[in-house]
C-alpha cells in the first residue's frame, strides 16, 4: 500500500504506536532510500524509448527492403525478427530484468506486423479481426508464461479490438459507432478502476486513464443517424449487450463486489449515449458535469488520486466546451475573449486550490 509518510507518522505518534525516536529513524531510512528510487527513472525511460525505436527501426528496415526479398526471405526475416527479440529477452531476463521485459514486449509488438505481412506473402483471405485475434493470443500466451505487465497491457488492448472488429465486420454499417464508443468508454472506466498495488493492474489503470476523456468525447458526439446502412435488430442487441456485459465482467474479475460502482458508471455511459442520439446539447453538458463529479467522489471514496484528477479535468473541459458552444456565440468577439480569459485565470486558480485540498484530505487517510 502506497502511503504518504509524514501524515502516517503523525497518526502513529498520536496513537502511541511508535515513539519520536522510531519516527526519526523511519524518516532517515526513507530519505536514504529516495535517491535509489529516483535513479531508476532514467533507466526506465531509456528502455521504453529504446524498445519503441527498436520496433520502429525493424519496421522501417523491412518496409525499405520488402520488394527486394523473395517470399522465403520475407518469411525468414519475420521469424528471425520476432524470435530474435524474444530470445534476447529470455537471455537478458535473469541478468537485467527490465531489459528482458522490454525485449519480450518488443517481440510481441513485432508479432502483429509479422502476422499481417505473413498474410500478405501468402495472399490469405482478408479478415483483419482474425489477425488481431492471433496477435492477442500471442500476447496472452506471453502473459501466461512471463507474467510481465507489458504482455497484459497489449492483450488488454487487442482482445477488445478483436471483439469490436468482429462485430463491426458482421454488421457492416457505420451505425456501429455508438456501440463501439460505449464499449470503449465503459471498458476504459473498468480498466481505470482495476488499479491495485502491482504493475499489471497499474498498466490497466494507465490505459483506462489515457482513453477516458477522448472516449467520453466520442460518445458525446456519436449519433446513430450517421449510419447509411441499417443494422439488424438482433445484431444490434448482441452488440449492446456485449458493450455493457463484457466491461462489467472485467470489473467484477478485478473488483468482485465493489463492481457495483462500475454498474453505476455503465448507467451513466448509456445515458450519455442516449442524450447524444437525441442531440440534447445542454443535457449532455449537464450529464458530463454529473459524471465528472461522480468520478471525483469515486476517487475520494476509494482513495485514488488519479480519479480525482481525471474528474477535475473532465469538469473543466465540460465548462470550457459549454462556453465555446453556447456562450461565446452570443457575445461579441472582444467580450467573449475577456470573459474566457477571466474564467480561465480565476476559475483555474480556484479549481486547482480545490483539487489540492481534495488530494490533501484524501492523503490524510494514509492512502495515495
Confidence of residue 8 (pLDDT cuts 50, 70, 90): confident
How does residue 226 score in pLDDT terms, banded at 50, 70 and 90?
very low
Judge if 272 and 286 occupy the same domain: no
> What integer is the mean pLDDT of 184-208?
89
Asked, for residue 61, whether it belongs to a domain, the answer is no
For residues 262 and 350, membership in a common domain is answered with no
Task: Provide the pLDDT for residue 227.
Answer: 47
| 331 inside domain | yes
Is pLDDT at 330 greater than 70 in this prediction?
no
- Please report how many Cα atoms fall inside a 13 Å half-sphere around the Cα of residue 234, on the Cβ side: 1
Q: Can you give the pLDDT at residue 169?
A: 87
Looking at the fold, whether 266 and 285 belong to one and the same domain comes out as no
* Full domain range(s) for residue 355: 280-368
Same domain, 267 and 335: no
Q: Is residue 175 part of a domain?
A: yes
End-of-domain residue from the set 278, 306, 321: 278
Residues with Cβ within 8 Å of 304's Cβ and at least 6 positions away in sequence, in order, are 195, 298
Domain closes at, from 249, 278, 307: 278
Average pLDDT over the chain, rounded to an integer: 83
Q: Does residue 174 have a pLDDT over 70?
A: no
Number of domains in the chain: 2
Mean pLDDT of 79-91: 89
Whole-model pTM: value is 0.79
Q: Is residue 328 part of a domain?
A: yes
285 and 365 housed in the same domain:
yes
Which of the residue ranges 163-177, 226-240, 345-359 has the most confident prediction, judged by mean pLDDT?
A: 163-177
Question: Would 332 be classed as within a structural domain?
Answer: yes
pLDDT confidence of residue 368: 41
Burial category of 328 from C-beta neighbours within 10 Å (exposed 0-12, middle 13-18, buried 19 and up): middle
pLDDT at res. 334: 61
Maximum average pLDDT range among 7-16, 21-30, 140-149: 140-149
Q: What is the pLDDT of residue 275?
A: 93
pLDDT given for residue 224 in this prediction:
56
Amino acid at each position: 500500500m502506497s502511503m504518504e509518510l509524514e501524515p502516517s507518522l503523525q497518526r502513529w505518534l498520536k496513537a502511541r504506536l511508535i515513539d519520536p525516536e522510531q519516527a526519526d529513524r523511519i524518516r532517515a531510512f526513507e530519505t536514504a532510500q529516495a535517491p535509489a528510487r529516483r535513479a531508476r527513472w532514467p533507466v526506465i525511460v531509456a528502455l521504453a524509448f529504446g524498445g519503441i525505436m527498436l520496433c520502429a527501426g525493424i519496421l522501417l528496415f523491412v518496409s525499405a527492403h520488402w520488394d527486394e526479398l523473395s517470399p522465403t526471405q520475407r518469411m525468414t526475416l519475420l521469424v528471425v525478427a520476432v524470435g530474435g527479440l524474444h530470445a534476447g529477452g529470455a537471455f537478458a531476463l535473469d541478468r537485467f530484468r527490465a531489459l528482458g521485459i522490454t525485449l519480450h514486449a518488443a517481440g510481441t509488438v513485432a508479432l502483429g506486423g509479422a502476422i499481417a505481412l505473413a498474410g500478405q506473402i501468402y495472399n490469405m483471405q482478408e479478415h483483419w479481426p482474425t489477425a488481431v485475434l492471433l496477435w492477442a493470443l500471442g500476447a496472452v500466451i506471453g502473459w501466461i508464461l512471463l507474467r510481465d505487465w507489458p504482455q497484459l497491457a497489449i492483450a488488454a488492448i487487442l482482445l477488445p479490438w478483436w471483439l469490436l472488429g468482429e462485430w463491426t465486420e458482421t454488421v457492416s454499417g457505420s451505425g456501429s459507432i455508438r456501440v463501439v464508443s460505449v464499449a470503449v468508454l465503459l471498458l476504459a472506466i473498468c480498466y481505470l478502476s482495476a488499479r491495485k498495488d502491482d504493475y499489471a493492474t497499474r498498466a490497466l489503470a494507465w490505459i483506462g486513464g489515457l482513453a477516458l476523456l477522448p472516449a467520453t468525447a466520442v460518445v458525446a458526439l456519436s449519433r446513430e443517424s450517421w449510419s447509411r446502412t441499417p443494422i439488424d435488430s438482433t445484431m444490434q442487441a448482441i452488440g449492446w449487450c456485449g458493450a455493457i456485459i463484457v466491461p462489467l465482467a472485467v470489473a467484477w474479475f478485478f473488483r468482485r463486489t465493489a463492481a457495483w460502482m462500475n454498474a453505476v458508471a455503465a448507467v451513466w455511459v448509456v445515458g450519455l449515449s442516449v442524450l447524444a442520439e437525441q442531440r440534447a446539447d445542454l443535457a449532455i453538458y449537464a450529464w458530463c458535469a454529473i459524471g465528472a463529479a461522480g468520478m471525483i467522489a469515486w476517487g475520494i471514496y476509494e482513495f485514488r488520486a488519479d480519479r480525482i484528477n481525471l474528474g477535475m479535468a473532465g469538469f473543466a473541459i465540460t465548462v470550457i466546451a459549454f462556453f465555446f458552444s453556447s456562450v461565446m456565440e452570443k457575445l461579441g468577439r472582444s467580450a467573449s475573449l475577456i470573459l474566457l480569459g477571466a474564467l480561465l485565470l480565476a476559475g483555474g486558480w480556484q479549481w486547482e486550490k480545490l483539487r489540492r485540498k481534495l488530494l490533501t484530505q484524501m492523503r490524510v487517510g494514509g492512502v495515495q
